[in-house]
Amino acid sequence: MPELRILDVKQSLLGDNDRRAAALREQLHSKNTFLLNLMSAPGSGKTTLLRRTAQALKGEIPMAVMEADIDSDVDARTMQEEGVEVVQLHTGGLCHLDAEMTAQGLTGLKREKPGLIVLENIGNLVCPAEFDTGASRNAMILSVPEGDDKPLKYPLMFTVCDVLLINKIDTLGVFDFDIEACTRRARRLNPKLEVIPVSAKTGEGIDRWADWLRRAIRDWQAEGEKARQG
């Protein structure tokens, strides 16, 4: 197993996060790299989902992961076991990532042109939604035990995401969670939101998620091509 790199990342001093994010997106386009910003509450299953994602795309799309974790490296080690290149970002207790921190994280990855880089954001449904990281797309996980009312309580997170994964659907029999009601509430905030029910534990729905990713990466690369010819 390769050595685990750990980076201390620091917030932008400039305060102009939106400009930094736009510059990062341009840089990603120029390298044909798709950066997915993955957000959720603590314990929703981000790392297990990423393991499944790595398995689904193995041999097809090169993948790397930046793990933003507050004070441990358990998630990073889990991903390394899947053979995925991982860099661990230490944020010094900060509750979110911004574009500057994301750009610093990218410098910690050895691979020059991975097809897919996933930024596993801090487990928090509030602050990460407020900061554009410069990612190509935003994804969030809501897990069944958290409840179908979460779009009412954390509206910004549902508004800024391109895709919502409803995870732990293998526990639908145990919890009172209405996928249709949740989807309706989320789409009221964000009509274009893609909603994909999955179980990272059993693998159910992972095919659909992998298809969404393939399409999103293709679209991103086409946008970059167009911009270059533009």
Choose between 37 and 136: whose C-beta lies nearer to a second copy: 37
**Which range in 9-17, 54-62, 116-124, 218-226 contacts a second copy by CB under 8 A?**
116-124
Q: Is 92 in the site for a second copy (CB under 8 A)?
A: no
List binders of a second copy among 43-72 (CB under 8 A): 43, 69-72
Number of shown-chain residues binding a second copy (CB under 8 A): 32
Q: Which of 5, 62, 147, 210 is in the footprint of a second copy by CB under 8 A?
A: 147
**Which range in 1-9, 53-61, 112-120, 140-148 contacts a second copy by CB under 8 A?**
140-148
Q: Which of 25, 29, 52, 168 is in the footprint of a second copy by CB under 8 A?
A: 168
Q: Which of 7, 36, 41, 166 is in the footprint of a second copy by CB under 8 A?
A: 41
Q: Is 150 in the site for a second copy (CB under 8 A)?
A: yes
Q: Is 95 in the site for a second copy (CB under 8 A)?
A: yes
* DSSP string computed for the chain: -PPPEEEE----SS--HHHHHHHHHHHHHHTT-EEEEEEE-TTS-HHHHHHHHHHHHTTTS-EEEEEEESS--HHHHHHHHTT-EEEEEE-TT-S---HHHHHHHHTT---SS-SEEEEEEEE-SSGGGGS----SEEEEEEEGGG-TTHHHHSHHHHHH-SEEEEE-GGGTTTS---HHHHHHHHHHH-TT-EEEE--TTT-TTHHHHHHHHHHHHHHHHHHHHHHHH-
Q: Is 25 in the site for a second copy (CB under 8 A)?
A: no
Q: Is 132 in the site for a second copy (CB under 8 A)?
A: no
The contact set with a second copy (CB under 8 A) reads: 41-43, 69-72, 74, 93, 95, 122-127, 130, 143, 145-147, 149-150, 152-156, 168, 171, 174-175
